[in-house]
Amino acid sequence: MADWSALGDDVEVVFFHDHATAPAQLVARLQGFDAAVAMRERSGFPRAVLERLPGLRLLVTTGMVNAAIDLAAAAELGITVSGTEAPGGASATVELTWALIFALARGIPAEDAGIRAGAWQTGIGQVLHGKTLGIVGLGNLGSRMPPVARALGMRVVAWSQNLTAARAADVGVEHVGREELFSTSDVVTVHLKLSDRSRGYIGRADLRRMKPTALLVNTSRGPVVDEAALVEALEERWIGGAALDVFDTEPLPADHPLRRLPRTVVTPHIGYVSVESYRGYYGHAVDDIAAFRTGSPVRVLLP
């Protein structure tokens, strides 16, 4: 995805293809490295990790925001943090969101698995035409959902704590209250940034309000939805199903119930993952390292 040889013969580049789950494992792995490139927020770099990497001078993250890096600690420790940009990141996430909606509504993964196991038609899907799409969060990503919904003949409503009627009108959707969105939507899709305020934003009461046939889709961040409540909702059949690209703990633990629950579609946080985005991310990563070596770092992320 990038020409790492452009850094020169005096730079040794090492690739790791497995996930360092424990902080101690990550620290042991990165001992002796002057620079490290992190894929989004897959690996955490809190103060406790950064303090144990005295040789680290440059930390590059794919993307221009990374909540898993303690930027203040990095600055205090003399570690430069640089970001990367890529084209089409928002489009990639919105496209995956619709792919998950279609897959869940028509039971595509289950039918695919059934055919491979020798079965033929194991379930019955539902159409989206005439149904209601509820968008939680009408920002950069949420505002890109309505055009496809309208093409499918869906009613589109939106709600979030800070959403105004004017903003909803600008996007061309109906502004409704919290209870109405969850009680009337046939598909609820979540598009919120993770923060202290949005953690647990969608809870047990919201899931209880949803129709027993309604679908929940989350491609934002796992902790925005109360995961324990969601598991309960799926086990007790409060809702019709869930499609998830994000989880509280990533990678998703091998024994996690979301790996086995029916009426679910799960993907490994790939909303932003595309050939186009990776070429942009890693091309910029090479540029970031080269610029740092000349003493003029670029795309520096500050606390």
User: Where in the chain is CATH 3.40.50.720?
Assistant: 4-87+274-293, 89-266
Which pLDDT band, with edges at 50, 70 and 90, does 40 fall under?
confident
Which pLDDT band, with edges at 50, 70 and 90, does 277 fall under?
very high
Structure confidence by residue, pLDDT tens digits, 243-254: 999 999 998 999
**Do the Cβ atoms of 242 and 100 come closer than 8 Å?**
no
Cα distances from 260 to residues 97, 104, 118, 243, in angstroms, run 21, 15, 20, 13
To the query of whether residue 284 is one of the catalytic residues in this protein, the response is: no
pLDDT score of 140: 94
Which CATH number does 4-87+274-293 carry? Answer: 3.40.50.720
Backbone angles phi, psi at 136, to 5 degrees: -100, 105
Structure confidence by residue, pLDDT tens digits, 86-129: 888 899 999 999 999 999 999 999 999 999 999 999 999 999 99
**Catalytic residue of the set 144, 175, 191, 269:** 269
**Catalytic residue of the set 106, 150, 250, 293:** 250
Assign a CATH topology to domain 89-266.
Rossmann fold (3.40.50)
Which pLDDT band, with edges at 50, 70 and 90, does 41 fall under?
confident
DSSP-H helix ranges across the chain? 23-30, 47-50, 71-76, 89-106, 108-116, 146-151, 165-171, 178-184, 204-209, 227-235, 275-293
Supply the mean pLDDT for the chain.
96
To the query of whether residue 221 is one of the catalytic residues in this protein, the response is: yes
To the query of whether residue 129 is one of the catalytic residues in this protein, the response is: no
Distance CA 86, CA 73 (A): 26
Region at 36 (left for phi over 0; alpha for psi -120 to 50; beta for the rest): beta
**Do the Cβ atoms of 2 and 279 come closer than 8 Å?**
yes
Length of the chain: 303
Residue range 130-138: average pLDDT? Answer: 98
**Catalytic residue of the set 175, 191, 221, 284:** 221
